[in-house]
Structure 1
Amino acid sequence: MKKFVLLTAVLALLVSCGKSNDKGQLVGVKGKKWHPEKPYGMTLVPGGAFIMGKADDDLAGVQDAPAKTVTVRAFYMDETEITNSEYRQFVNWVRDSTIRTALAEMADIEGKTPGSGDIGEFAYKDAGDDDDLTPYEEYMRDNYGNDQRKLNNEVDLIFETGEYPDVLYAEVMDGMYIPLEESYNGQRTWDVKKFKFQYSYMDIEKAARDKKLSRKDVIIREEVEIYPDTTAWIRDFSYSYNEPMHNDYFWHDAYGAYPVVGVSWKQAKAFCQWRTMYHNAYRKEKKRHFVNSYRLPNEAEWEYAARGGLQAATFPWGGPYAKNDRGCFMANFKPLRGDYAADQALYTVEADAFEPNDFNLYNMAGNVSEWVNSSYDPASYEFASTINPNVNDPRNERKVVRGGSWKDVAYFLQVSSRDYEYADSARSFIGFRTVQDYMGTEVTANSAGRR
C-alpha cells in the first residue's frame, strides 16, 4: 500500500512537471497580457516635475501657495469638465436602478414571476426558478439576502402612464414622483431625493497608518443623493433673476454639452465611484482586466495638468495676459466690472469652448471652478511631500477648488491660485473633471519619448 501511494505521488509530480514549459526554472506567474487603453474622452498627462505655487511677486498669494518643486506620476484626465449630458447618464442610471429595485421587491412581496405580463416581468432574475441559478448565486442569495439578487435589466421600464401593465406597477411608479398635492400646472416631477447612490471603499491611508485596525474598521460606506442642486442658481445671487437657469440648465438638451454645476464634492466623489463600477461591469462581461478607479485629481495633479507643460506660466496658455494678440479673451470669466458678457458668454459655455492647453485640456481656466481631492490648508505646501503631494484630511470639510469660473475675476483663473468650498456645498459655478491613474511609470514629460 505504501509503495502504491509513493508511486501515485511520483506520477502526479511527473504529470504536473510535464504540463509546464518552465523547464524547472523560475519564470514567474504569467497572467493576461495587459494592453493600455486610453479612456474615452480623456487625454494622457505624462508625469514629471514642475514648480508648483505662486511667484514671489504675488505677496498675498504666496502666503498659502509658496513655490516648490514637486513631481507627479502620469495619469489620464478628462479633456473637458464633466458635462450635463454625462452627469445625466449617472442620474438616469441611479433612477432606473432605484425603480427596478422597487419593482422587483414589490413583485417578490406579491409572488409575481416573469411570464405573467404584469409587474412580474420586473421580478428578480431568479424569481420562481432556482434552476437558473449557479450554486454560487444560490448560496449568496440564501446567506446575504436580496442585496445579492440580480435585477432584470433586459426588460425596458415603462414611463408612459397609459402603458403601465397593472396597478402594482402604478403604485411603485407613483412613489417615485413628488406627491400629487405638491405638483402644479399639471406637471408632476421626479422626487429626486429618492435617487441615492450607495457605495463603499477602503480608506487605505487610514489602514496603512494604524495597523491595529481590522479591515471592517476602514471600510467606509456612503449614501449620496446624486441630483444636482439646481436652486444654487437662485441662492448664489441675491436680487438677481436666474430662474431660467434653475429651470432648464441641467435637464434641457440645449445645455447638454455645458459643464454640470450644483454638484457638491461628495456628489463628485460618488460620480467617480459609479463611473468606475459602470466601466468595469462592461469589462467583466467581456472578460477583460479591470481598469483603475476614476477619481478626482489632487491639487498638484490639477495644477500640473493646467500648466500644460509650461513652467512658470501664469495661465494655461502662458501669460501673463487673459487676452491674445488680437484682443480676444482666452477664457470665460468676469473680465470687467459687472460686464460678464465681454468675453461673449453670460454664464457658462460649452465644455470644449476656447482653445485647449498643450495637454489638450479645455477650460482649465474659467467656465467653472473644479473640485479636487484635497483639503484646503493654508500651510499644506510647507509639509506636503514633494512626490505626488496631496493633503486630504477627512475631518477638514474645506475642499480645494481650482481654475476660477465664469463669475470670477482673472486672478482666480491663474493656474497657481487656490480657493475652497465646503464639501457638502453645491454652487452654480463649481463643477469637476475626473482622472485615472496610468498603469506604468515610463511616460514622463522629461523623457525624450514623450507621447
Structure 2
Amino acid sequence: MRLNTAVILAVLAFSLVGLSSCSKSGGNKTVSSATGWEYNNPDFGGFEYKSGYEQETGPGLVFIEGGTFIMGRVEQDVLYEWNNAPRRVTVPSFYMDESEVRNIDYLEYLFWIRRVYVDYPEVYRKALPDTLVWRRPMAYNEPMVENYLRHPAYAEYPVVGVSHIQAQDYCKWRTDRVNEMILVDEGILEFDVNQIGENNFNTEAYLYGQYEGIQGKNPMEDLNPNNDTRRVRWDDGILLPRYRLPTEAEWEYAALGLIGNSYDERMTDRRIYPWDGHITRNASKKERGKMMANFVRGTGDMMGMAGNLNDGGDITVDVKSYYPNDYGLYCMAGNVNEWVADVYRPLSFEDMDEFSPYRGNVFQQKVLDEEGYIVEKDSLGRIRYRTEEDKDILNRKNYRTADNRNYADGDATSNAVVGSDWNDVDANTSSMYAGSPNSSLGSLVSDRSRVYKGGGWRDRAYWLAPGTRRYLDERESRDDLGFRCAMTRVGSPINSKKK
C-alpha cells in the first residue's frame, strides 16, 4: 500500500513539472511558444510583445458593436430606383462620432492650417467650406452666407458646404492631432506649437521616421540591447487607427441602432427610422407628439407655427438635438445628410461582399524612393493614394451658381448633360442618373460619385430612413450635407471596457 502511494505521488509530481514546463513555453505570454525565448527581455534580444491589448476610444467617438443585419430599403421605393434592395450582411465592430462634425470643430481645423501653413495659403483656401451653398435664386439667405460658419451662435451646428474630399482631409488632420496628443500625454514628445509648413506631426510620416519632433521627458525605452530609446511603432498599440468616413454599411447599421430591438439573437422589430415605430413623432407618454428629427413636414413647413415649433429648427439645429438612438448617436436622421466613404453604383447590392461591404476605387500603393522615403504627398503634406489622373481633384471647382442645376436633387431638370439641352431629358429617365435605355444621354454616375445618407433639414420624411441613398460628385457640396467620422475597431468585436 505504501509502495503504491509513493508511485502515485511520484507520477503526480512528474505531471505537475510537465504542466509547469508546458505553461512556461506555450501558455505563458511572457515566453515565446515557438522558441522558448523570453519576450521583452534585453538578454534575449529585446523582442517586444504586449498582451491583453484593448483599444482606447478616441475623442468624440462611440463604440458600435457589430453584427448582422438586413441592409437596404425598408420604405417603398417611390422613385423606382431599385438601387438598394435588401440583403443580409455583417458589419464588424467600429467606432463612430457621437454627433455630426460641428462648425467649431471645423473652425479649429481651419485655424490650425492657417497657423501652420503660413507660407502655403492655398492649403487654407482649399479647406474652406463653400458658404455660397446657402444662396438660392428666390430666397434671402445672405445672413447664412455671412454668419453660419463663423458666428458663435452656430458653433454647435453641423458644418455644411464641405465636399467629400474636404471631409476626408479633415479626417486625416484629426487623426494626426489625436495621435500627437497621445504621444504628448505619454511624455514621448513635447508639445510643439511652433510647427511650420511641412514640419508638422503626421502619423504616417512619424512612423516612417520622417518626423522627429521634440523628445519628451519619458521617451520610449528600446529593449534592444544595442539602443537606448526609439520612436513609437505601430505594433506598440499606442497610436490609434485613423479617423475616416464611415462606409455606407457602417453608417446604415449604426443609424438603425437595432441593438435596442433584439433579444439574444432574435430581432423583435424592424425599424424604418433610427427609432421605433412608423411615425416621426415621439410615442412616449411624457413627450408624445414631439418631432424626433429636423426635416420638412410638408410644403413650406420647415419648423411649424410660432408658439409650438414642431421640430424647433428653421434650418439646421444643434448637433445634439433630439434623442440619441440606441447606440447613443445623435441626429442619424434629419438635420443634415452625411457623406459616407462609398462610391455610388445603383446596383452595388448585387456584388458587394457579405462581410464589411464597401465599394471604393482602385487600390494604390505608396510610392517610395530608393531611400524608402515617400515620393508624393498632398497639399497637407500627407501621403497621396490617388492615381495620376485624379491629381486635378485637389484643385476642386467651387460650384457657386445659385440653383446648383448641375447636381441638385438628381431630377431630370437638374442634371447637367454634356452636349445636349438639359430641358430635352426624357421624362421617363430615372431621377438619379440621366442615362436610360430609352435615352441617348450618358450616365452621371462615375468614380467621383459618392453616397450620402440620412436626410436633412430640406428633406421630407422619406429620406430619413437609413436605407435610402443618394449621391453627389465628391468635389461638390450642399447646405444640407455634412459628415461625421468613424474609426476601425482592431481586435475582438466585443469591447471589454464597455461591459
- TM-score normalised to structure 1 length: 0.64
| Separation of aligned partners in 1, 2:108 and 2:89 | 36
Indicate the residue corresponding to 1:274 in structure 2: 173
Indicate the residue corresponding to 2:193 in structure 1: none
Superposed, 1:291-306 pairs within 5 Å as 291-306=240-255
1:335 aligns with 2:297: yes
Superposed, 1:22-101 pairs within 5 Å as 25=36, 29-32=47-50, 34-55=53-74, 57-58=76-77, 60=79, 63-99=82-118, 101=119
| Separation of aligned partners in 1, 2:497 and 2:73 | 30
Indicate the residue corresponding to 2:308 in structure 1: none
| Separation of aligned partners in 1, 2:492 and 2:81 | 32
Indicate the residue corresponding to 1:366 in structure 2: 334
| Separation of aligned partners in 2, 1:280 and 1:432 | 21
The number of equivalent residue pairs is 309
| Separation of aligned partners in 2, 1:60 and 1:427 | 21
Give the deviation of 1:27 after TM superposition: 5.9
Alignment partner of 2:62: what SS?
strand
| Separation of aligned partners in 2, 1:291 and 1:46 | 18
1:315 aligns with 2:277: no
| Separation of aligned partners in 1, 2:166 and 2:282 | 36
1:357 aligns with 2:287: no
CA separation of 1:22/1:319 partners in 2, compared to 1, >3 Å: closer, same or farther?
Answer: closer
User: Does the 8 Å contact 1:55/1:62 carry over to 2?
Assistant: no
User: Does the 8 Å contact 1:259/1:348 carry over to 2?
Assistant: yes
CA RMSD across the alignment? 2.4
- Matching residue within 324, 337, 341 for 2:282: 324
Indicate the residue corresponding to 2:210 in structure 1: none
Superposed, 1:246-285 pairs within 5 Å as 246-285=145-184
| Separation of aligned partners in 1, 2:64 and 2:168 | 21
CA separation of 1:284/1:403 partners in 2, compared to 1, >3 Å: closer, same or farther?
Answer: same
Superposed, 1:185-200 pairs within 5 Å as 194-196=121-123
Superposed, 1:397-412 pairs within 5 Å as 397-412=448-463
- Matching residue within 227, 234, 237 for 2:128: 227
Indicate the residue corresponding to 1:439 in structure 2: 490
User: Does the 8 Å contact 1:83/1:259 carry over to 2?
Assistant: yes
Indicate the residue corresponding to 2:346 in structure 1: 378
| Separation of aligned partners in 2, 1:374 and 1:61 | 21
User: Does the 8 Å contact 2:31/2:37 carry over to 1?
Assistant: no
Q: Which amino acid aligns with 1:347?
A: I
| Separation of aligned partners in 2, 1:57 and 1:412 | 11
User: Does the 8 Å contact 1:54/1:62 carry over to 2?
Assistant: no
Give the deviation of 1:438 after TM superposition: 1.3
Q: Give % identity.
A: 36
Q: Which amino acid aligns with 1:336?
A: G
Q: Which amino acid aligns with 1:261?
A: V
Alignment partner of 2:108: what SS?
helix
Q: Which amino acid aligns with 1:31?
A: Y
Indicate the residue corresponding to 1:162 in structure 2: none
| Separation of aligned partners in 1, 2:340 and 2:176 | 20
- Cα deviations across residues 344-375 of structure 1 (Å, max 9, x unaligned)? 21000000000000000000000000000001
Give the deviation of 1:31 after TM superposition: 3.2
| Separation of aligned partners in 1, 2:319 and 2:331 | 7
User: Does the 8 Å contact 2:296/2:302 carry over to 1?
Assistant: yes
| Separation of aligned partners in 1, 2:251 and 2:176 | 23
Structure 2 unaligned blocks of 5 or more:
1-29, 40-46, 189-231, 233-237, 262-266, 305-310, 363-445
- Cα deviations across residues 1-49 of structure 1 (Å, max 9, x unaligned)? xxxxxxxxxxxxxxxxxxx976961566533564421112211000111
- Cα deviations across residues 186-221 of structure 1 (Å, max 9, x unaligned)? xxxxxxxx2516xxxxxxxxxxxxxxxxxxxxxxxx
| Separation of aligned partners in 2, 1:335 and 1:56 | 17
| Separation of aligned partners in 2, 1:88 and 1:375 | 27
Give the deviation of 1:439 after TM superposition: 1.9
Give the deviation of 1:426 after TM superposition: 1.4
CA separation of 1:92/1:449 partners in 2, compared to 1, >3 Å: closer, same or farther?
Answer: closer
Q: Which amino acid aligns with 1:358?
A: D
Give the deviation of 1:59 after TM superposition: 6.4
| Separation of aligned partners in 2, 1:397 and 1:62 | 20
Superposed, 1:74-223 pairs within 5 Å as 74-99=93-118, 101=119, 194-196=121-123
- Cα deviations across residues 80-123 of structure 1 (Å, max 9, x unaligned)? 00000011111000010122x57xxxxxxxxxxxxxxxxxxxxx
| Separation of aligned partners in 1, 2:344 and 2:38 | 48
| Separation of aligned partners in 1, 2:498 and 2:352 | 27
Q: Which amino acid aligns with 2:453?
A: R
User: Does the 8 Å contact 1:64/1:379 carry over to 2?
Assistant: yes
Indicate the residue corresponding to 1:113 in structure 2: none
| Separation of aligned partners in 1, 2:332 and 2:31 | 52
User: Does the 8 Å contact 1:56/1:62 carry over to 2?
Assistant: no
Give the deviation of 1:240 after TM superposition: 0.5
- Cα deviations across residues 306-357 of structure 1 (Å, max 9, x unaligned)? 0012463100012311112322111000011111012221000000000000
User: Does the 8 Å contact 1:369/1:430 carry over to 2?
Assistant: yes
Give the deviation of 1:433 after TM superposition: 0.1
* Higher helix fraction (1 or 2): 1
User: Does the 8 Å contact 2:72/2:467 carry over to 1?
Assistant: yes
- Cα deviations across residues 155-175 of structure 1 (Å, max 9, x unaligned)? xxxxxxxxxxxxxxxxxxxxx
Alignment partner of 1:51: what SS?
strand
| Separation of aligned partners in 2, 1:333 and 1:297 | 23
| Separation of aligned partners in 2, 1:53 and 1:22 | 47
